[in-house]
Homo-oligomer: A and B are copies of this chain.
């Protein structure tokens, strides 16, 4: 079964808002094993929408549209699609009653425009809207099924979850299973090279790689008559990928981030973490603290941007700063050591580097970064050279710190040095 997504709205076309509806619907379709080969955004324009819907109807079995169901004149998605499908609009009493209630509840004055929202194509399934006025619509014809949804995400998402997904499941004979293998500490081209034979041989399951800052994600997707069978097809491929990348794989769960994987590692082993950030200035700690339950692991972080504060709060030696400078292996080491002590943490991570655009030199260029990790007193420092603009360098350094931290934790875990 093939579906296609059309988002209607000048505000998306002008870049006023990011099109999160398309991503939400697309992810939902992927989860249902429904193929989607096109997403299109078009303005509130009758002729362009008419033509686009026509093309989509030729390409897909189901066309899902969002937006343009509002009460105003320029909202024309429903009218245009109904015309394209040769269906008349009739008043849906229940929808009209709900709209009236919606306005009463809020002591808002009902205008004639609002009644427009209660009209639906004759014989269509009406998706009543708990969170707004515009009802959604499922209109079927021999040629195509059109699913119309309101634009506001707060209305579209619950309507999708509660009413559209069950409808789509009832149509599908095929089941679908997908697993996301997330790798840190390897570039995309490496991963691609290491998986070339699998990717070249792919048909079912399919394999796709996605590059993220400091990570590569490999999606393995299989289809079968039921989920159990699809899972069976995915399993050996994921097993093979695991064999090739070993501990560089930090999760196979789509929803687990690198910071969450690191936090879990700390949590499971009852370890607390302290951070000492210079060039990243809190970016690393912020990512870690975004993981729910962070308070069990992280008590204190230091953002020591000046030499003075590196000395005062982390006990970095003045002689170290004089002799090697703040961006040096020695400084990163003393930062990690001092951070663990000052924050009374089992584990600590330190970052010092040159984010640019200024401050670089022949000997110490912009992007030069040292990251230190201390696990129960055992300290490792690694040197990096990141490129790009200031923010990109800081993001790369943050990702690298998470990767090194995880690496050092695993190293010590396997050495069973933990109580």
A49 CB, nearest partner CB in chain B, Å = 10
Interface size class on chain A is: 35 or more
Cβ of A109 under 8 Å from chain B: yes
> Which chain B residue lies CB-closest to A27?
B15
| A130-B283 Cα distance, complex, nearest whole Å | 22
Whether A286 lies near B286 (C-beta < 8 A) is yes
Cβ of A419 under 8 Å from chain B: no
Whether A294 lies near B305 (C-beta < 8 A) is yes
> Which chain B residue lies CB-closest to A283?
B286
Cβ of A93 under 8 Å from chain B: no
Cβ of A87 under 8 Å from chain B: no
Whether B292 lies near A281 (C-beta < 8 A) is no
Whether A309 lies near B343 (C-beta < 8 A) is yes
| A210-B391 Cα distance, complex, nearest whole Å | 23
Cβ of A106 under 8 Å from chain B: yes
Given A43-B37, A111-B189, also A11-B282 (CB < 8 A) = no
Q: Which of A28-36, A229-237, A370-378, A403-411 contacts B (4 or more CB under 8 A)?
A: A28-36
Q: Which of A262-270, A316-324, A382-390 contacts B (4 or more CB under 8 A)?
A: A382-390
Chain B residues with CB below 8 A from A199, complex form: 73-74
Cβ of A271 under 8 Å from chain B: no
Chain B residues with CB below 8 A from A367, complex form: 105
Chain A binding surface, main DSSP class: mixed
- A47-75 interface code vs B (CB 8 A; 1 in, 0 out): 01000100000000000000000111110
- A275-312 interface code vs B (CB 8 A; 1 in, 0 out): 10101111111101110111100111111111011001
Whether B72 lies near A209 (C-beta < 8 A) is yes
Given A152-B211, A285-B281, A301-B281, also A190-B111 (CB < 8 A) = yes
| A109-B18 Cα distance, complex, nearest whole Å | 37
Cβ of A188 under 8 Å from chain B: yes
A17-49 interface (Cβ within 8 A of B): 17-20, 22-30, 36-43, 45, 48
Partner of A25, one of B15, B73, B106, B210: B15
- A196-221 interface code vs B (CB 8 A; 1 in, 0 out): 10011000000011110100010100
> Which chain B residue lies CB-closest to A291?
B390
A380 CB, nearest partner CB in chain B, Å = 17
Cβ of A394 under 8 Å from chain B: yes
Chain A residues in the interface with B (C-beta under 8 A):
10-20, 22-30, 36-43, 45, 48, 52, 70-74, 102, 105-106, 108-109, 111, 113-114, 130-132, 152, 154, 158, 187-190, 192-193, 196, 199-200, 208-211, 213, 217, 219, 275, 277, 279-286, 288-290, 292-295, 298-306, 308-309, 312-313, 343, 355-358, 367, 384-385, 387-392, 394-395
5 residue pairs, one from A and one from B, having the closest CB atoms: A282-B282, A15-B27, A281-B289, A301-B303, A15-B26
Known: A70-B189, A280-B289, A299-B308. 8 other contacts (CB 8 A): A12-B26, A13-B39, A16-B219, A19-B19, A111-B192, A113-B189, A281-B286, A290-B390
In the assembled complex, 8 residue pairs joining A and B whose CB atoms fall closer than 8 Å, in A order, are: A11-B208, A39-B41, A113-B189, A131-B389, A281-B282, A281-B301, A286-B394, A301-B305
